[in-house]
Every structure is written in C-alpha cells, then in structure tokens.
C-alpha cells in the first residue's frame, strides 16, 4: 500500500452525528455535533467539542448541562438542518417539528424523536483553540422502550437505523461484521 503525505488534520472518521439539546423546556435549543465521544465508563463520562462562537456554547457553559440525542436515518434532515441554522435566529424544535421532552434530571430538554438521550452534567471545560471541550458526567439515560430486548436487557440501537458522519457527509450504518471478542472466540 502506497501512502502519501497529507496535511495534519482531524481525520478520525466516521463519527456519530448527534443532536445536542440545551437550554430549558421554555427556551430549548439544538446543536448538531460530530466531535463527541466516550471518555470513561466508570464513572460514565463523555464530551462534546463546540466552537466558541456557536449560540449553544454559551448556553451549555452557563447551565453546565446538555443532552446527547442519538440520530437516525429518519432524523438525518433535522440533524443536518440543526447543524447549519443558528438558535439565535430560529426555534429549531419548532422548525424541524421535533418535540422537547422533560429530562429525568436536567433542565435541558430531550429530543423525543431520538431513540436514546444521554443526560450530561459538565464537570470541566477545556479550552483547546477553535473549540472548547465540555467534559461531562452521564447522569441519566433515556431509551426508547421499543428498542429494549426485555429478555437480555440490552438496548438494540441498531434497530433504530443510526447514522454516522464522515468528511462532511452522513451515512447509514452497514451490516454487522462481528461482535466484541469474535476474533478470539473458540469455534465449536
């Protein structure tokens, strides 16, 4: 395989495309992010990196909370639209016909149409340059009951048709290639 030198950049793709809700039930806002991820499993922690000039940046900085709302193929238009429009100018919930729903522990609303909502409280803000990283503890998770396997207790996100973001484009996730540990599992 021949390699070529390429300029330094953030080329770790694909990434989850998430809608981050913030604000309050009375004044909700949504921001689309792809710069997000898991930081720790015990305690459960994650992060979002947000440009300082974004409307949601101040809301999250001041409130210290946000909700990660997983996105799906049916939500792809709203996901994109909420990433290019500013909450300074429009009510994204209203314009995209999304439903703000009361969170278990936060003032920030959930997006009812999302199959999984992860309620987060900010523990630290790291100033990184163009973006600030909001490091947060997961304080509650709200899962669509229809996606729960009541026999195993597992959440079956794959049935919700999640999407990913890669180099400015949204993609549906493809076929299952294996499960964790399949490469070392003994064959019968």
pLDDT bucket at 185, cuts 50 / 70 / 90 = confident
Domain that holds residue 110: 16-172
The verdict on residue 180 lying in a domain is no
- What is the average per-residue pLDDT within 30-53? 96
Using H for helix, E for strand and C for coil, what is the string for 34-56?
A: CCEEEEEECCEEEEEEEECCCHH
pLDDT reading at 165 higher than 80: yes
Question: What CATH number is attached to the domain comprising 56?
Answer: 2.30.110.10
What is the per-residue pLDDT for 187?
75
Q: Specify burial of residue 56 (Cβ count, 10 A radius: 0-12, 13-18, 19+).
A: buried
The verdict on residue 178 lying in a domain is no
The verdict on residue 97 lying in a domain is yes
Give how many domains the chain has, as a whole number: 1
The verdict on residue 168 lying in a domain is yes
What is the per-residue pLDDT for 183?
85
162 token code pair = 């999640």
The verdict on residue 3 lying in a domain is no
C-alpha span between 13 and 6 (Å, rounded): 15
The verdict on residue 6 lying in a domain is no
The verdict on residue 70 lying in a domain is yes
Predicted TM-score of the model (pTM): 0.93
Average pLDDT score, the chain: 94
The verdict on residue 136 lying in a domain is yes
Residues 92-112: tens digit of each pLDDT: 999 999 999 999 999 999 999
């Amino acid at each position: 395989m021949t390699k070529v030198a390429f300029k330094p950049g953030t080329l770790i793709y694909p990434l989850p495309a998430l809608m981050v809700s913030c604000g309050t039930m009375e004044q909700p806002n949504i921001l689309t992010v792809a710069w997000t991820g898991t930081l720790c499993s015990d305690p459960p922690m994650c992060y979002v990196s947000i440009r300082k000039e974004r409307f949601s940046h101040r809301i999250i900085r001041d409130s210290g909370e946000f909700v990660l709302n997983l996105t799906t193929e049916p939500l792809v238009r709203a996901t994109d639209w909420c990433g290019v429009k500013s909450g300074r100018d429009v009510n994204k919930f209203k314009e995209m016909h999304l439903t703000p729903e009361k969170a278990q522990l936060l003032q920030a609303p959930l997006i009812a149409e999302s199959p999984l909502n992860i309620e987060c409280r900010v523990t630290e803000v790291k100033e990184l340059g163009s973006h600030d990283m909001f490091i947060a503890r997961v304080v509650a998770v709200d899962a669509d009951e229809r996606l729960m396997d009541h026999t195993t207790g597992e959440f079956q996100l794959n049935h919700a048709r999640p999407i990913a973001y890669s180099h400015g484009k949204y993609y549906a996730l493809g076929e299952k290639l294996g499960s964790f540990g399949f490469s070392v599992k003994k064959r019968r």
